[in-house]
Amino acid sequence: MEKGSKYADVIIDVSIDKLDRPFSYRIPERLSGIICAGSRVRIPFGAGNTEKKGYVTALRDTVDLEEDKIKDILGIVEGSVTAQDVSFEIASYIRETYGGTLSQALKVVIPAKAKAKPIELKTLVRKMEREQILALADEAFRRKQTAKEKVLRALAENERIPNSWITGKLGVSSQTVASVVKSGAAYLETSSEYRKPAIADIRESEPVSLNDGQNRIVSSICSDLDAGLRGTYLIHGVTGSGKTEVYLRLAQKTLLMGKQVIFLIPEIALTYQTLARFYGKFGDRVSVLNSSMTPGERFDQCERAKNGDIDIIIGPRSALFTPFPNTGLVIMDEEHEASYKSESTPKYHAREVAKKICEISGASLVMGSATPSLESYTAALSGEIKLFELNERAGGGELAQTEIIDLRKELSLGNRSMFSRRLKALMDEKISKGEQIMLFLNRRGFSGQISCRECGKVMMCPHCEVPMSLHSGSRLICHYCGEVTEKPDTCPSCGSKYLAAIKAGTEQVEDRIRKMYPDVKTLRMDKDTTSEKGAYDRILSSFSNGEAQILIGTQMIVKGHDFPNVTLVGILVADLSLGVPDYRASERTFQLIAQAAGRAGRGVKPGNAVIQTYQPDSYAIVCAAQQDYGKFYEEEMAYRESAGYPPATHLLALQLFGQDEKKTSLLASDLRDVIKSYGAKKVLGPAPANIAKVKDYYRYVIYIKSPEVSELTGIRTVSEEYLENADMNGMFVQFDLDPVNQI
């Protein structure tokens, strides 16, 4: 970064690919030496000199432009955060691999966008001898200055008093504090503090000695670290096999080497117990990042990381961009989770970006899962990454005894309830023993949707092609756009009065349970009950404390939690997620069921898992019930190979959105022709997306398959070039490389 350079390359904030390149600007005298690569600046842009923002990517002493064609930088954006050199490298990689513009990629990579003022802590500090202060207090008493007297008497007893205590507990105004200061009795000391995220329940973790399997992993990775070898590792370990314990040891090792650790977790719901264990072991050296934090809280965690105040950050995929001075280890727990893939442009996958970041910073990557993604397992089998297996539960507990219940048989025997006879019997038993139960409703698809029992019409959102869901008896809500309507009394198409909910949602399950077991306390965990800040933690800790005997929920309850008293897990309709038109439907179903079944019997008591399904022969369900990952992998990989889906090949989804259905479909056809003439061999579509309309935008998808990412990158580039000159007119495009959800 040469100080005093005269010119700067600036990437301007745009979402238009045409402008996605650096433009040259002059650095005015007053900013010389202040602006550096990474500075966020204001610049005039275009013929009208509209003010825009952008990032300086490089400084230069000369440019290839006539002096009078170069515009001046207007200034540095107030309160902005300077991007680090490495941010550009990562952003370029993301842009290159996943599309979008460099400025969009930079926004992803720079973890805190705005500076925040530190919190100020004020303390009243005594300046006089105790006797002098007592004399002042007596004087205040004579003058009937009660508030001032209170402060002085408190000062006589304490040398330092937090101002918040005086204005809070003592109920004294800041004017009174000022008058005490004026009398010379004390002064106000100001110090600043970073915001620290609160953590609900910090447990000292009890030291365990590693078992053989764990030891093998820890010593193998540690000896690589000692030898200065950077590696990528996959720990395939059944739930409860002690992976977290391994992560803790590896983190400790990394800290001893003077380096820092990024620990990625897929969802906030997982943080509760994992966080407690990391805090228990590393105390204040740990912090978290999560989506419910304020910008100030986020900024402070990044500052603490930069300054070396913390060594470990725990968070979702965005935590990957924590600006540690020397990251030595990235851990990715539950590496198969779909939430590691970004759903907005650039649609990057944290796993791939983590590999890149580790490469740049010389760090190792450790991934773990009970049900690894097909991508990682394939890479492990090919030797590209190192594979470790942990096949037994570390705490000694047995895997749950699993049974598959055929719901079709239940129905034919006249049982129309959502609980099979077997599940009901086990619930009765566990309740009477005082043990805990988790009921899991695999609520993919559309629960709570309303249909006409006579003509079959489903109540759809007028703006999106998805069914609306019934809430609290009378309102219909669209979960895509938020549209709310009253439930009609009669069918809009045939006039019938018989409108009813098709599938049970978690709310209905809770209702049923309350009727069946009026004395049993229940908790429910789903999107609706966890919208408030801190709700996850509250529900989980109250279940963990035994305040309720039954926890009912969606996929959020099945992952990662360790409740020793849970001895029964009921999966109400295991195949709900199988019917989704997505090449990952089986994989997701397998993962959910295997994870859910893994929740039972984590303590010393034996556990049961009951899997209710209409498709008892599906390999995803059978393999999950047997906890047989290897068999599932074989079956699923054979399907991916024959049907041509990742990881057998790479897949690029090009999604076109537009309000005019006809124009959108025409442009999509044009694009297909462009892609074909580029030489792409496997092009599917265009076809309307699974959900063909969202928020009044029609969606068309083209899928392109190729074994080489570089070919797909080329196809993306020619498509972008074609669209630059096309009449887009309210339409826009998104690219998704190796999508995890087929839209």
Query: What are the respective helix, strand and coil percentages of the chain, to the nearest 5?
Result: 35, 25, 40
Minimum CB distance to ligand ADP smaller for 240 or for 616:
240
CB of 565 to ligand ADP, least distance (A): 13
Do 491 and 454 contact (CB within 8 A), yes or no? yes
CB of 242 to ligand ADP, least distance (A): 3
Minimum CB distance to ligand ADP smaller for 245 or for 636:
245
Minimum CB distance to ligand ADP smaller for 239 or for 522:
239
455 interface partner picked from ligand ADP, Zn ion, none, CB below 5 to 8 A per type: Zn ion
Q: Of 280, 395, 688, 714, which lies in the binding site for ligand ADP, with binding defined by CB under 6 A? A: 395
Residues 556-585 that bind ligand ADP (CB under 6 A): 562
Residues 501-540 that bind ligand ADP (CB under 6 A): none
> Residue 410 is inside which H or E element, if any?
helix 407-412
Minimum CB distance to ligand ADP smaller for 200 or for 210:
210
CB of 454 to Zn ion, least distance (A): 5
Q: What six digits make up the tokens of 386? A: 């190192």
494 interface partner picked from Zn ion, ligand ADP, none, CB below 5 to 8 A per type: Zn ion
Minimum CB distance to ligand ADP smaller for 371 or for 506:
371
Minimum CB distance to ligand ADP smaller for 101 or for 369:
369
Contacting range for ligand ADP; rule: CB under 6 A; set: 75-83, 149-157, 206-214, 671-679:
206-214
Minimum CB distance to Zn ion smaller for 315 or for 448:
448
Cis peptide leading into 323, omega within 30 of 0? Answer: no
237 interface partner picked from ligand ADP, Zn ion, none, CB below 5 to 8 A per type: ligand ADP
Do 250 and 260 contact (CB within 8 A), yes or no? no
Give the whole-angstrom CA distance, residue 236 versus residue 216. 13
CB of 481 to Zn ion, least distance (A): 3
Residues 6+ apart with CB under 8 A from 657: 664, 697, 698, 699, 731, 732, 733, 734
Minimum CB distance to Zn ion smaller for 196 or for 457:
457
The size of the chain, in residues, is 743
731 interface partner picked from Zn ion, ligand ADP, none, CB below 5 to 8 A per type: none
Give the whole-angstrom CA distance, residue 334 versus residue 274. 12
Do 247 and 399 contact (CB within 8 A), yes or no? no
Give the whole-angstrom CA distance, residue 669 versus residue 164. 66
Do 735 and 656 contact (CB within 8 A), yes or no? no
> Using H for helix, E for strand and C for coil, what is the string for 32-85?
CCCCCCCCEEEEEECCCCEEEEEEEEEEECCCCCCHHHCEECCEECCCECCCCH
Which three-class secondary structure state does DSSP give residue 615? coil
CB of 413 to Zn ion, least distance (A): 30
Minimum CB distance to ligand ADP smaller for 244 or for 529:
244
452 interface partner picked from Zn ion, ligand ADP, none, CB below 5 to 8 A per type: Zn ion
Which three-class secondary structure state does DSSP give residue 149? helix
Q: How many residues bind ligand ADP (CB under 6 A)?
A: 15
CA distance readout (Å), 118 to 284, 298, 364, 435, 517: 18, 12, 33, 47, 51
Give the whole-angstrom CA distance, residue 740 versus residue 396. 35
Give the whole-angstrom CA distance, residue 509 versus residue 439. 9
CB of 245 to ligand ADP, least distance (A): 4
Which three-class secondary structure state does DSSP give residue 526? coil
463 interface partner picked from ligand ADP, Zn ion, none, CB below 5 to 8 A per type: Zn ion
Minimum CB distance to ligand ADP smaller for 315 or for 448:
315
705 interface partner picked from ligand ADP, Zn ion, none, CB below 5 to 8 A per type: none
Phi and psi for 456 in degrees, rounded to 5?
A: 85, 0
465 interface partner picked from ligand ADP, Zn ion, none, CB below 5 to 8 A per type: none
Minimum CB distance to ligand ADP smaller for 55 or for 278:
278
CB of 715 to ligand ADP, least distance (A): 40
380 interface partner picked from ligand ADP, Zn ion, none, CB below 5 to 8 A per type: none
Q: How far is CA 60 from the centre of its chain?
A: 39
Do 718 and 680 contact (CB within 8 A), yes or no? no
CB of 537 to ligand ADP, least distance (A): 18
Give the whole-angstrom CA distance, residue 285 versus residue 278. 9
Q: Of 94, 217, 332, 394, which lies in the binding site for ligand ADP, with binding defined by CB under 6 A? A: 394
Is residue 545 exposed (0-12), middle (13-18) or buried (19+ Cβ within 10 Å)? Answer: exposed
Contacting range for ligand ADP; rule: CB under 6 A; set: 174-182, 205-213, 251-259, 534-542:
205-213
CB of 451 to Zn ion, least distance (A): 8
CB of 480 to Zn ion, least distance (A): 5
Task: Check residue 208 for interaction with ligand ADP (CB under 6 A).
Answer: yes
CB of 196 to ligand ADP, least distance (A): 25
* Residue bearing tokens 């100080």: 3
Do 35 and 73 contact (CB within 8 A), yes or no? yes
Do 541 and 253 contact (CB within 8 A), yes or no? no
CB of 208 to ligand ADP, least distance (A): 4
CB of 496 to Zn ion, least distance (A): 4
Residues 267-296 that bind ligand ADP (CB under 6 A): none
- Interaction site with Zn ion (CB under 5 A): 452, 454-455, 457, 461, 463-464, 478, 480-481, 483, 491, 493-494, 496
Contacting range for ligand ADP; rule: CB under 6 A; set: 89-97, 203-211, 589-597, 648-656:
203-211
Task: Check residue 599 for interaction with ligand ADP (CB under 6 A).
Answer: no
CB of 525 to Zn ion, least distance (A): 25
CB of 465 to Zn ion, least distance (A): 9
CB of 573 to ligand ADP, least distance (A): 26
Please give the span between the terminal C-alpha atoms of the chain, in angstroms, as a whole number. 44
Half-sphere CA count of 580, side-chain side, radius 13 A: 23
Give the whole-angstrom CA distance, residue 533 versus residue 297. 14
CB of 240 to ligand ADP, least distance (A): 4
395 interface partner picked from ligand ADP, Zn ion, none, CB below 5 to 8 A per type: ligand ADP
Minimum CB distance to ligand ADP smaller for 277 or for 298:
277
Minimum CB distance to ligand ADP smaller for 211 or for 326:
211
461 interface partner picked from ligand ADP, Zn ion, none, CB below 5 to 8 A per type: Zn ion
480 interface partner picked from ligand ADP, Zn ion, none, CB below 5 to 8 A per type: Zn ion
**What is the full DSSP assignment across 655-691?**
EEEESSHHHHHHHHHHHHHHHHHTT-SEEEEEEEEEE
Contact code string over 210-249 relative to ligand ADP, x by CB under 6 A: xx--x----------------------x-xxxxxxx----
Do 601 and 562 contact (CB within 8 A), yes or no? no
Beta bridge partners of 455: none
Give the whole-angstrom CA distance, residue 733 versus residue 15. 11
243 interface partner picked from Zn ion, ligand ADP, none, CB below 5 to 8 A per type: ligand ADP
> Using H for helix, E for strand and C for coil, what is the string for 3-29?
CCCCEEEEEECCCCHHHCCCEEEECCH
Minimum CB distance to ligand ADP smaller for 443 or for 599:
599
Minimum CB distance to ligand ADP smaller for 562 or for 628:
562
Do 6 and 27 contact (CB within 8 A), yes or no? yes
Do 600 and 608 contact (CB within 8 A), yes or no? yes
- Which residues in this chain contact ligand ADP in the complex, by CB under 6 A? 208, 210-211, 214, 237, 239-245, 394-395, 562
